[in-house]
């Protein structure tokens, strides 16, 4: 779990250990058979995630420094999309890779970890024999942030795979200690809107910020008209109002492409959910449960989020509005994240101001994923990390209940295609003007 950049450089090795160990803890409840599942092209097997994040360190940190690769055949198998690096196994066919086995991937991870920690010790340990290397630090921090992204993907991909199984298996069983269910003493109450003046504002990661991806830069000015954001995420109970009003059948609420998509796929509920009378039954990492009306509604496509916003006489926020509001709120990033072990989106706690701004569910914005003014992708293969995906995708903000806490910051830009639902995606309403 990656906290803000530390002044004490010697702690990078400890941070490496923590992040890598968390990946293994997330995989621990899964059998070898579970780890090989790929339920659709957008998902990947857990075994592949574990190997790919290891390949990243081996390829971008170790190999350029003369460290021999563990197995030269792995390069083709575990390169994701880096064309500059070389050939890649087709993404939709990752589930066909029965070899190497899950155990062989464990051996691979341990071998690369040993070499990485030896390198970090040489560079920044108490008996360092080389000068401290800011370029190495930047690479390792990027690799750790990259692995945190895959930690969330391990869980969302496993959930999608388990949802295809008629046995409805739970990744982790629900028990009395599970921090799930409604906060009975803290009902979120009726949603209200918080107004912002707008004007000329700055967004994006600035100098001196903690770790950030290249797509968060450069910091720049943008103009905002007055707007208002809902103080919490849209709930299951509010989604039921939309469903009872036959919102999925009302073309006037939808973008044309969205209505065609919903009709073609016969979408009537969020992904991993079904209606049983008036009850919404949700399948999650802790198995099936009847959703409480105060829970955030999640696993929505952008199309559904946009239609819900129209139903409630609102719209989705732009990413600039969202970030300006998040920065205005100030204070530490708080919310329901992976470390809280709920594995589910929880109802908003009672309180004033913007709630659930971080954690619980990724919030769709109306902003297309595009470069900020002055953005330039870095040279070389690492320049492929973000820039080449800046087309036909929408930006999401805020993190989810499956996102590592230290991975999220107000400037963080997530992005997915508008039909994406297997992620923990939800809705915060926005309105124009001072409401």
| Per-residue pLDDT tens digits for 152-205 | 999 999 999 999 999 999 999 987 666 554 444 457 778 999 999 999 999 999
Q: pLDDT at position 201, please?
A: 97
Residue indicated by tokens 């869980």: 155
User: 9-163, what's its fold?
Assistant: 1.20.120
Question: Which of 176, 169, 168 shows the shortest CA–CA distance to 30?
Answer: 169
Same fold for the pair 9-163 and 189-432: no
Average pLDDT score over the chain: 92
The dihedral through the CA atoms of 158, 160, 165, 170 has a sign that is positive
Ramachandran quadrant class, 2 (left: phi over 0; alpha: psi -120 to 50; beta: rest): beta
| DSSP SS3 for 138 | helix
> Distances in Å between the alpha carbon of 416 and those of 68, 101, 336, 381, 394?
36, 30, 21, 22, 6
Q: What per-residue confidence (pLDDT) applies to 108?
A: 98
> Angle between the 134-163 and 12-27 helix axes, to the nearest 10 degrees?
10
Domain ranges of the chain: 9-163, 189-432
Distance, CA of 215 to CA of 386 (rounded, Å): 6
Q: What is the pLDDT of residues 41-77, one digit of tens each?
A: 999 999 999 999 999 999 999 999 999 999 999 999 9
Query: 189-432 belongs to which CATH class?
Result: alpha beta
Two tokens, residue 147: 């692995």
Tell me which range, 130-144, 204-218, 313-327, is most confidently predicted by mean pLDDT. 313-327
């Amino acid at each position: 779990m990656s906290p803000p950049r530390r002044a004490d450089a010697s702690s990078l090795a400890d941070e490496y250990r923590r992040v890598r160990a968390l990946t293994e803890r997330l995989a621990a409840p899964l059998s070898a058979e579970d780890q090989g599942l790929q339920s659709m092209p957008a998902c990947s097997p857990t075994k592949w995630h574990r190997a790919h994040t290891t390949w990243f360190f081996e390829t971008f940190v170790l190999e350029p420094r003369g460290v021999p690769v563990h197995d030269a055949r792995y390069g083709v198998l575990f390169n994701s999309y880096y064309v500059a690096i070389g050939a890649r196994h087709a993404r939709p066919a990752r589930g066909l890779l029965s070899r190497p086995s899950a155990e062989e991937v464990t051996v691979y991870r341990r071998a690369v970890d040993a070499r990485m920690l030896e390198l970090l010790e040489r560079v920044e340990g108490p008996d360092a024999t080389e000068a401290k290397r800011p370029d190495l630090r930047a690479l390792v921090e990027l690799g750790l942030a990259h692995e945190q992204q895959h930690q969330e993907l391990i869980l969302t991909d496993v959930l999608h795979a388990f949802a295809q199984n008629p046995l409805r298996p739970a990744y982790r069983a629900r028990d009395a200690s599970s921090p799930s269910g409604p906060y009975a003493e803290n009902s979120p109450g009726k949603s209200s809107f918080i107004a912002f003046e707008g004007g000329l504002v700055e967004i994006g990661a600035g100098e001196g910020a903690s770790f950030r991806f290249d797509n968060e830069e450069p910091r720049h000015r943008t103009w905002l008209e007055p707007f208002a954001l809902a103080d919490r995420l849209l709930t299951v109970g509010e989604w039921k109002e939309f469903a009872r009003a036959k919102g999925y059948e009302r073309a006037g609420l939808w973008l044309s492409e969205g209505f065609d998509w919903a009709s073609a796929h016969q979408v009537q509920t969020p992904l991993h959910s079904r209606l049983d009378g008036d009850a919404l039954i949700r399948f999650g990492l802790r198995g099936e449960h009847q959703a409480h009306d105060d829970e955030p509604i999640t696993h929505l496509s952008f199309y559904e989020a946009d239609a819900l916003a129209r139903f409630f006489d609102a719209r989705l926020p732009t990413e600039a509005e969202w970030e300006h509001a998040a920065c205005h709120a100030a204070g530490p990033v708080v919310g329901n994240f992976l470390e809280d072990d709920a594995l589910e989106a929880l109802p908003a706690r009672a309180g004033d101001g913007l709630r659930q701004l971080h954690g619980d569910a990724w919030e769709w914005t109306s902003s297309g994923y595009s470069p900020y003014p002055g953005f330039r992708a870095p040279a070389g293969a690492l320049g492929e990390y973000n820039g080449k995906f800046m087309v036909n995708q929408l930006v999401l903000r805020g993190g989810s209940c499956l996102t590592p806490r230290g991975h999220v910051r107000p400037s963080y830009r997530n992005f997915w295609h508008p039909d994406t639902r297997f992620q923990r995606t939800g809705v915060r309403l926005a309105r124009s003007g001072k409401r």
